[in-house]
A = this chain, B = another copy of it.
Amino acid sequence: MKNPLEITERTKVNRLSNRANYDREVIYQILDEAKICHISFIYEGKPVVIPTSYGRKDHLLYIHGALNSRMLVEMEKGIDISLSVTLIDGLVLARSAFHHSMNYRSVVIFDQARLLSDFEEKKEALRIITNHLVPARWEECREINRGEIEGTKVLTISIEEASAKIRTGGPKDAKPDYQLPIWAGVIPCKMQYGEFVEDSEQHQDAVTPESVKNFYL
């Protein structure tokens, strides 16, 4: 582990700790591959979890939304949040139901979000979020205007109190079960990006952009 995060009481993986990973680069890779996160916060004393898109640059995650988004209005108060990102890599079929599992890569982060107020910082965060969806897309878009930036709430979350948990490989059955003629194996999973569908109101001079072409490479 070249660049590990400090392990805290909350990020210490208790169960199946051999699956734990605190390496910054490993955590970043998972965050960069996934498209959505689930954010948890306390609202009127009760937990709420909401999916949302995001972007990452260095040790910061950015999320955004409407000015009146309930989640963002709560989060800008600096309350505690927890954020998770999960990639499913395989369905693991063992000889026993008990040992069925999944291969996955997940990250859990704890922090308090901070509201961005600086105009240029917000603009840069929106670029990062847009380019997280499809790299280099921002640069092809109609330039964002002041009203759009002012009409969007942007918050940032630090990737500091964070851990990854990763399972790979085949099923692990109890030793006697290997003598049974029951099939065992893994069904690999990954997000598949299908052929793009052009907008029905496409401008006649619009051509397939580099960002979209490169997305499939």
A residues engaging B (CB < 8 A)? 10, 14-15, 35-36, 38-42, 46-51, 53, 65-66, 68-70, 80-84, 86, 88, 91, 93-98, 100, 102, 104, 106, 108, 110, 126-127, 130, 133-134, 137-138, 140-142, 144, 148, 152, 170-171, 177-209, 212, 215
Contacts and interface: CB of A to CB of B under 8 A. Distances in A.
A96 B144 contact: yes
Copies of this chain present: 2
Contacts of A138: 97
A14 B71 CA distance: 11
23 contacts: A35-B102, A38-B49, A39-B49, A42-B46, A49-B49, A49-B83, A51-B84, A88-B191, A97-B148, A98-B144, A98-B152, A100-B141, A181-B205, A182-B206, A183-B198, A183-B209, A184-B199, A185-B196, A186-B196, A187-B215, A188-B197, A190-B194, A191-B191
